[in-house]
Structure 1
Amino acid sequence: MVSKSSPADASGENRLSLIQDPNTTEPAPAAIPPEPDDHGPVGLETISPSRAGDFKQCPLLFRFRAIDRLPEPVTPALARGTTAHLALERLFDLDAAERTPERLFDLFRQEWTKLRLTDEYANLFADREEERQWGIDSLRVVANYLEMEDPTGFDPVEREMMISEDLGKVVVRGILDRLDETPDGKLVIVDYKTGSGPPERYAIPAFFALKTYAMLVRRRLGRTPVELRLLYLGSSSVYSIEVDHNTIEGVERHILALVDAIRNALANDHFPPRPSVLCRWCAFQHLCPEGQAYAKPEPALPLVEPEPPSATKTNETLA
């Protein structure tokens, strides 16, 4: 069962008064190494939790991303997510007392200043005003994080943890946002999302990748995480589920079954679409007629205006 909470905003107005123009003039960063998701399947020697989730969601989506390597548009939402992840990672480099709203906002500005000079993000905005408004909106989203957790009260065990484990059939690897340890020594996996939380009926599939990371953590550390948390900064929503040994065993079997299915799809070049409500947000919708059809909004019922009283009366008379 998914547990959802939405912390009340106790001091958001004060934090938002700290928001300023995110643009500065720091030099561009060094080249960023590719993440594990950038490695393709070829013979499927390796797979990431994200790509496994793609195949589970829609085999055609998996093909577009992992085999065809089709480019996806860089969007303001993607820029916000990347920048926020970098800022939140650096926040915990600071001493606990320094993890203030001001410092978090400064870290966001610093990270965006570097990213905006890279080829990927250089032409994202039409003009400075559009970028400035994006920065203000982004800092509002980042401010929501401080409603959801008190970063001065704990130190994560790991941040941006690169983890890789050989399951025999395949190597599973990825980057985990954060691994925490509770005061009584239990492990908790945390993942940041800068969008808004989905309706609860759609929340369970969002935990698939985190369950896979829980399996990797248990293999690496010999300890089973007890809780998975999704922090949706866009809506200040925290979704969480409890996991145990049986959950992890089931996930490992599921991953191995997915690997068999992917290899079968590769052998037969068969990656059928699996239309769902998620098609509405798919970057490859223009390449998928099934997805286009599913994503179309249902036509509104035509409005039938009542006949004017005079016409009604005339008809009654003629009858």
Structure 2
Amino acid sequence: MVSLRVIAMVEQASTVVQTVVDELIEQDTPRPRRPALSPSRAGDFKQCPLLYRFRAVDRLPEKPSKAQVRGTVVHAVLEELFGLPQGERMPDAAHQLVAPTWARLVEQRPELAELFPEGADDQLASWLASAGELVDGYFTLEDPNRLQPEACELLVESELESGLLLRGYIDRLDVAPTGEIRVVDYKTGVAPKEIGEARALFQMKFYALVLWRLRGVVPRQLRLMYLSDRQSLAYAPDEAELRRFERTLEAIWEAILKAGKTGDFRPNPSRLCDWCDHKSRCPAFGGTPPDYPGWPEPDPGDETLADRAD
């Protein structure tokens, strides 16, 4: 007959084992990241709160356009270009990266192959050539062999004193031997120039603020490189401006959280609606949004493929 003492010992050992198993499971289970604000999602809310909801809360799918995916390919090519030794970063070398980059992207996201129907080899070849033309546009703006970036496609995060977590990706970060910082962003999209530049400058100030909070240094220059137009725009922020911008982001986040409690994300119709994937769901155009699912978990701050492209 088994004694009560033995039974108690077995039960205690079982409890210890289960605790260890639970801890291992908890360690292996990805934890949801804290809600954060990215430049693209902040821009969405500024443009149209309902668009923010569709993208960040409902997470409705959007079919990327050929232009958006081409931008992703060009960004990846330029990142790989800077992985080559200085002196080897030539136009021919960059062109040789275009097709393999597209092939790798399709391998990662097979649905992108649907952009080009079977038998549309001529269309694909023309599209890849247009990506090569954007790469050529980059070489007219600077010589990559004279540069040694600190990082490309850099994920940055910073928490403000208010508790707001900022998160975003920087196309390229240049740091001079004297410590001065330059943030570089490549633009390949076809948005109307005045609207595109305003959104891009908002994005660049976002990065400047995050870097200032992370490193204690205000970036010396924010540089936008328009590869299609073969033009660049440089901007020099200052500390006072970034403090004002910080308050702007905090106000945007407060408005997002307020809307998130009730689901009251209102549409803001504009000429940009003609390019919106969700126009048919928008009440401003007679549509009906899906039922509000509540504030999202995990983090709604992630940026999409299209966001990263332009």
Q: Sort the TM-score into its range (normalised by shorter chain).
A: 0.7 to 0.9
Q: Indicate conservation of the 8 Å contact 2:73/2:131, yes or no.
A: no
Aligned to 2:73: 83
Give the TM-score normalised by the residue count of structure 1.
Answer: 0.73
Question: Residue type matched to 2:46 in 1?
Answer: K
CA RMSD of aligned residues (A): 2.3
1:121 to 99, 103, 112: 112
Q: Using the alignment, how far apart are the partners of 1:200 and 1:46 within structure 2?
A: 28
Gaps of 5+ in 2: 1-30, 287-310
The SS at the match of 2:228 is coil
CA distance in 2: counterparts of 1:257 and 1:190, whole angstroms: 26
- Return closer, same or farther for 1:165/1:174 CA change in 2, 3 Å cut-off: same
Aligned pairs for 1:4-43 (under 5 A) are none
TM superposition shift of 1:215: 0.7
Alpha-carbon distance change, 162 to 199 in structure 1, aligned in 2, over 3 angstroms? closer
Give the whole-Å Cα distance in 2 for the aligned partners of 1:194 and 1:40. 32
Identity %: 39
For residues 66-145 of structure 1, the aligned pairs below 5 Å read 66-117=56-107, 118-126=109-117, 127-145=120-138
TM-score with structure 2 setting the length: 0.75
Within a 5 Å distance, the mapping from 1:1-319 to structure 2 comes to: 45-117=35-107, 118-126=109-117, 127-167=120-160, 168-182=162-176, 185-196=179-190, 198-200=192-194, 203-288=197-282, 290=284
Helix, strand or coil for the counterpart of 2:87? helix
Structure 1 residue 175, shift from structure 2 partner:
1.2
Distance 1:47 1:76 in 2: 27
Q: Which has the higher contact order (CA 8 A, sep 6+)?
A: 2
SS class of match (1:175)? strand
CA deviation profile, 1:160-191 (whole Å, cap 9, x unmatched): 11111112432111111111135754211111
Structure-2 separation of matches of 1:284 and 1:197: 18
The whole-number CA distance in structure 2 between the counterparts of 1:286 and 1:40 is 31
The code of the aligned residue for 2:74 comes to: A
Secondary structure of the equivalent of 2:113?
Answer: coil
In the comparison of the two structures, how many residue pairs are matched? 253
What's the CA shift for 1:103?
0.7
Gaps of 5+ in 1: 1-38, 293-319
In 2: Cα distance, 1:76 partner to 1:145 partner? 20
Q: Which has the higher helix share?
A: 2
